[in-house]
Amino acid sequence: MRISRLSRAMAATATLAAAASLSLAQPATDNPLLKPSTLPLQYPAFDKIADTHFGPALDAGMAEQLAEVEAIANNPAAATFENTIVALEKSGKTLGRASTVLFSLLGADTNPARQKLQADYAAKLSAHRDAISLNAKLFARIQALNAQRDKLGLDAESVRLIERYQRNFVRAGAQLNEAQKTRIKAINSEMATLSTRFNQNVLAEVNDSALVVDTAEQLAGLTPDQIAGAAAAAKARKLEGKYVIALLNTTGQPYLNQLTDRALRERLYKASVARGSRGNSFDNTAIVARVATLRAERAALLGFATHADYVLQDETAKTPQAVNDMLGKLAPAAVASAKREAAELQALIDQEQAAKKQPTFKLEAWDWSLYSERLRAAKYGFDESQLKPYLELKTVLEQGVFYAAGQLYGLKFKQRADLPVYHPSVTVYDVYNADGSQLAIFIADMYSRPSKRGGAWMNAYVQQNKLLGTLPVVANHLNIPPPAAGQPTLLTWDEVNTMFHEFGHALHGMFSNVMFPSFSGTSVPRDFVEYPSQVNEMWASWPSVLANYARHHKTGEPMPQALLDKVAAAKKFNQGYATTEYLAAALLDQRWHQLKAADVPAADQVMAFEAKALKEAGVDFAPVPPRYRTPYFSHIMGGYSAGYYAYIWSEVLDANTVAWFNANGGLKRENGDKFRATLLSRGGAEDAIQMFVKLTGHAPQIEPLLVKRGLVTAK
């Protein structure tokens, strides 16, 4: 997952949707957010930034940008590209700098003060965005330039930027009458406040729902280090002598694949799926219903049938029908595959229970992970416990992720300890091109903690663009459970894949080579942005890369070739489950956002609506629940509303590109250089699908994805 950057005039505050301000006065000279950082590449001075700095910086930044916008809108000279579009691109520097740091910290290391900032200023910042995008004089200048954009003698990127501004302003409501604009402003303000409450509820309940376990015996199946970690987590909560299992935001939980106590697995699963709908202070059902209603109302005001129509107009999919068709084509094959997998798991359960002379039981959602690991061991001769000693975090990062980037793009990495970090577990690297020139600074934030939101994502603290002369400072965030003190961090195979995936986003940001901030890095359609990151996953299991990083954390011995071969052979294992849980969530997202306002269910019907939607879509298979259920589906309460399908849509492009890499020799510099020059460096400066076609030589085809996931057999 990534955080996108929209046009600077409309969304120098796009990252502000979660930001807010604490109005405590600070002398301007003492506030590091009021001017660019003097650290390398304008890396944030985390050691000098206090929570009390954000309010004054945001207030000053909003005032500064509004003054800049007013000067542009009221310029007596006729509109030109320089005095209107370029001027807008240069506006909002203080606001962008302060909001980027605050929003990033709200995700990576929040605290009560930052959450108060978030709540207090969500509506104010929404109003600030509307003050720009609904400015009639400013829009008139943009319209005038757009009408003559092909006659101005501009290069293709500049023409595209004019088109982007015109489109964004129209989509924000610039062509509405005054009464409609007033309503749009009210809707945006209320949604900003509700979104903040939703996400704060999700984080609070994840921490509140952590499972307390009385005895170590109940944790059978976990390693001694994991049990020690659970004891340490309990001690931190002043629960001496007990054990705590922390939750992640997904429906599935990490320890479900190890715990042999079935009752405890059931408790863990049910604690996970109950979040957000238990009628407690964290209940999000009323927020879901209200936000869905507001989104549908806003879409209608803007001339769209539904919120999904509004969102998808600006994506490569273009229409809800295109998304429905693609998801509808995948769902039956995925569910059929999941049911075949379930039958194998049920047979294994029956066999094990018979061997123990105990009654069998029906496969449930809390059983799947454990028995799929056992089935993997039976079918392929290995399980996660055999892999993990060879997957130590730092080695995977430096000898795997970085090594692959070196082989493919010629990059070099050097850790540095002189730059400040916001948490002691964060590490920082300089990134260099093959010619020795600095490309970027990379921040690696790998561990989960109570102050960090769930999931994995990339964000940019500084984005590349030639207009302002900046180079990227990008960060990857994962949620790997921290080990007990003094113990190594040993990864699951899924965590390894996630690390490669998120670094694909980082490469997209670091390789950016565009003129304008609006097109920098990952500023591409939502259903295209996951594509480069998914391509980068292919190198996790590429033989030469895997052999380089898969080394025993104690002895340094490489993973035995026989085990490497087994990992490769099992790539399609459990893909019915993985595809179905994802599709269930993506289909839920579409069902919510293809509603008209009058059809949105009330709060007390939210979960019934979810159940009906899953049944109608043909993905209501109890052993495979949605990856996210509605009340904790943070993606769709944020930037992925009507857009969660993007992962599978992008994977179509990914599977085609993996086939292209394989057909052209795989891990070779010339392939990497072409991928970088044709696509990764262009950000949003060119049409997304045209870049894909330029690389692969053909339009996207779905067959490689079906083969990759084992949903059909290759011809």
The second-level CATH assignment, the architecture, of 389-569 is Orthogonal Bundle (1.10)
- pLDDT higher than threshold 70 for residue 261: yes
Distance CA 32, CA 98 (A): 9
Q: How high is the pLDDT of residue 445?
A: 98
Position 111, amino acid: N
Residues in the chain: 715
| Fold matches, 8-175 and 282-377+573-642 | yes
CA atoms of 245 and 261, how far apart (whole Å): 14
Calpha distance 523→525 (Å, rounded): 7
Instruction: Give CA 359 to chain center in angstroms.
Output: 43
Q: Are 323 and 590 in contact (CB under 8 A)?
A: yes
pLDDT at 242: 97
Q: Which CATH number fits domain 8-175: 3.40.50.1100, 1.10.1370.40, 1.10.15.40, 3.30.360.10?
A: 1.10.1370.40
The type of residue at 394 is: K
Q: Give the pLDDT of residue 28.
A: 55
What's the pLDDT tens digit per position in 546-566?
A: 999 999 999 999 999 888 888
Burial class (CB in 10 A: 0-12, 13-18, 19+), 117: buried
**Interval 513-533 mean pLDDT:** 96
Average pLDDT over residues 236-252: 93
H and E: helices and strands count for the chain: 28, 7
Indicate the CATH number of 282-377+573-642 among 1.10.1370.10, 1.10.579.10, 3.30.70.520, 2.20.25.10: 1.10.1370.10
- List phi, psi (to 5°) of 151: -115, 10
pLDDT at residue 714, as a whole number = 45
Task: Note the pTM of the prediction, 2 decimals.
Answer: 0.89
Q: Is-contact 553 490, C-beta < 8 A? A: yes
Span 436-462, mean pLDDT? Answer: 95
Where is 317: in which H helix or E strand?
none
Question: Which residue is it, tokens 């509820």?
Answer: 201
Q: For residue 695, what pLDDT band results from cuts at 50, 70 and 90?
A: very high
pLDDT exceeds cutoff 70 at 715: no
Residue 11: the pLDDT is 38
List pLDDT tens digits, range 36-51: 999 999 999 999 999 9
Mean pLDDT calculated for residue range 443-449:
96
**Which residues share a beta bridge with 551?**
558
- Beta-strand pair 211-213/438-447: unpaired
Residue 200 CB coordination number (10 Å) = 18
Inform me whether the pLDDT recorded for 5 exceeds 90: no
501 in Cβ contact with 515 (< 8 Å) = no
What is the average pLDDT score of the chain? 93
pLDDT tens by residue, 60-76: 999 999 999 999 999 99
- What percent of the chain has pLDDT above 90? 88
pLDDT at residue 398 is higher than 70: yes
Three-state DSSP class for residue 545: helix
Q: Where are the domains of the chain?
A: 8-175, 209-273, 282-377+573-642, 389-569
Dihedral in degrees, nearest 10, Cα atoms 479, 273, 650, 9: -70
Single out the residue of 49, 18, 14, 12 nearest to residue 34, CA to CA.
49
pLDDT(269) > 60? yes
DSSP class of residue 301 equals H
Q: Where is average pLDDT lowest: 85-94, 548-557, 700-709? A: 700-709
Pairwise CA distance, residues 139 & 19, whole Å: 26
Write out the catalytic residue numbers: 502
What whole-number percentage of the chain has pLDDT above 70?
Answer: 95
Provide the strand spans (E) within 110-167.
Answer: none
Output DSSP code: residue 431. Answer: E
pLDDT band at 424 (very low <50, low <70, confident <90, very high): very high
* Mean pLDDT value of segment 524-541: 95
pLDDT at position 375: 95
pLDDT in the model for residue 12: 36
Q: What are the tens digits of pLDDT across the range 193-237?
A: 999 999 999 999 999 999 999 999 999 999 998 999 999 999 999
CA–CA distance from 220 to each of 13, 239, 246, 423 (Å)? 49, 20, 17, 32
pLDDT tens-digit readout, 669-681: 999 999 999 999 9
C-alpha to C-alpha distance for 632 and 203, rounded to whole angstroms: 9
104-114 average pLDDT score: 96
For 130, half-sphere exposure in the C-beta direction (CA atoms, 13 angstrom radius) is 22
Phi and psi (nearest 5°) for 709?
Answer: -90, 5
Phi-psi region of 107 (alpha: psi -120 to 50; beta: other; left: phi over 0): alpha
Contact of 459 with 439, CB cutoff 8 Å: no
The rounded distance, in Å, linking the Cα atoms of 532 and 147 is 34
